[in-house]
Structure 1
Amino acid sequence: MPNKKNKVKFNICNVHYALITVDEDGEVTFGTPVAMPGAVSLSLEPNGEPSNFYADGYAYYTISNNMGYEGDLELAMVPESFRTDVLKESLDTNQVLVENANVETANFALLFEFDGDIKKIRHVLYNCSAARPNIESTTNEEEIEVQTETLSITAAPLANGYVKARTGDSTTDTVYTGWYSSVYMPETAEPVDPETQQAAPAKAALSVPTGTAGKTEAVFSSKTKA
């Protein structure tokens, strides 16, 4: 029996972030995803448009220009963990959050999902950065109006070109249920052996080693092998 397919999507929920570390050899490590409760809205627009090279009087070649996405993530309130992990605000001895202009913010993967009429659609943007949210509020009037906080998000390609991934109609249960356990990276099929005419087992572009204190991290190499 074929899988039922979503006809519509609505509601954003289950937002997570996972810190990125890049070593000297260009190997990228994703930390364990951390929940960001209180998602209100997400709006990201494609960044970069194809451009044409003209020769012989017509568009001779179209140049791809996928630079990822840009937009806003609106939350009820930015979690303290995100402020310390990504925006690099620090807690002093009195547990007061301090913002320092001399500290660089961190990049991260952004995971989230949309509800569907059949099944939730889960997404990951691999290489995101966030700008500091505005400081704003208003006085109470006859009714209390909740003041949200908005992060400006830039999602750029990784060095290997990956921008994002999302679950499909036939995504395996293992991948779907483990979406927020570690950052998913695509699996690549090995070429067919000309002698046996059989394909080698699929090779994962992702490994999941166990780090210290039992913390799981997803690791992959952004370098292209010859």
Structure 2
Amino acid sequence: MLQTTYEMETTDSAGTVTYATPVAIPGAVSISLEAQGGITPFTPFYADGIKYYNADTNAGYEGDLEMALITDVFREDIGLGETLDTNSVMIENADVNGSEFALGFQIDGDEKGTRFWFYNCNATRPSTESSTTEDTKEPTTDTITVSCAASTDGTVRAKTTDAVTDAIYDAWFDAVYIAA
């Protein structure tokens, strides 16, 4: 099971990030987020005949979230460039900027499914695809690319462990987890 949820991110004038109540994303098929960054191209740096300095960078994560169908609410909330007009028609507008959000999900496979929150995310617009119906019907899916960067305090993601309390685990998707 891949359970996903998101919540819009707001930052006040002091730079404090807050979140409202998370919204479930139905129909998640798969997610693949790859670490960005790594060893910087100018390292290692050698001095005194030894490796004197070596550095790596954490540029967050980027990858794809595949869903059965991206909901209209998600399209509007996340700012995929789409809004509803007064006739309830979804209009894509190149001047609408995306919004930052937190992305939460659970991956099953362990005794207790691992749960995540990725912070400071934004997403790309999905492609539009369709094909004719043949002898069998195959469902089509929507895929967006999600980019997750460090928050102002350096936080990139939160992940449950085997030692997390039941209270924290059970309430994981009730609110975006903020480090204690």
Q: What TM-score does the superposition give when structure 1 sets the normalisation length?
A: 0.75
Does 1:80 find its partner at 2:69? Answer: no
The 1-side partners of 2:37 and 2:98 are apart by: 24
The residue number in structure 2 matching 1:29 is 18
Does 1:18 find its partner at 2:7? Answer: yes
The 2-side partners of 1:43 and 1:14 are apart by: 14
Query: Offset of 1:59 from its aligned partner?
Result: 2.5
The alignment partner of 2:135 has SS state of: coil
Does 1:143 find its partner at 2:132? Answer: no
Query: Offset of 1:58 from its aligned partner?
Result: 3.2
Specify which structure has the higher proportion of strand: 2
Amino acid at match of 1:78: I
The alignment partner of 1:65 has SS state of: strand
Does 1:120 find its partner at 2:113? Answer: yes
Deviation by residue 1:150-179 (Cα, 9 ceiling, x = unmatched): 010101111111000111001011111111
The residue number in structure 2 matching 1:214 is none
Deviation by residue 1:36-64 (Cα, 9 ceiling, x = unmatched): 01011111111001232413233212223
Q: What does residue range 55-204 of structure 1 map to in structure 2 within 5 Å? A: 55-56=46-47, 57-86=49-78, 87-187=80-180
The 2-side partners of 1:41 and 1:137 are apart by: 20
The 2-side partners of 1:169 and 1:50 are apart by: 30
Could you tell me which runs of 5 or more consecutive residues in structure 2 were left unpaired when the two chains were aligned: none
The 2-side partners of 1:148 and 1:158 are apart by: 30
Pair member with larger Rg: 1
The 2-side partners of 1:95 and 1:169 are apart by: 46
The residue number in structure 1 matching 2:33 is 44
Q: What TM-score does the superposition give when structure 2 sets the normalisation length?
A: 0.93
The alignment partner of 2:167 has SS state of: helix
Amino acid at match of 1:54: F
Amino acid at match of 2:135: E
Amino acid at match of 2:158: A
Confirm or deny: 8 A CA contact 1:88 1:106 kept in the other structure: no
Confirm or deny: 8 A CA contact 1:50 1:66 kept in the other structure: no
Could you tell me which runs of 5 or more consecutive residues in structure 1 were left unpaired when the two chains were aligned: 1-10, 188-226
Confirm or deny: 8 A CA contact 1:33 1:183 kept in the other structure: yes
Number of residue equivalences: 176
The 1-side partners of 2:109 and 2:126 are apart by: 29
Amino acid at match of 1:16: T
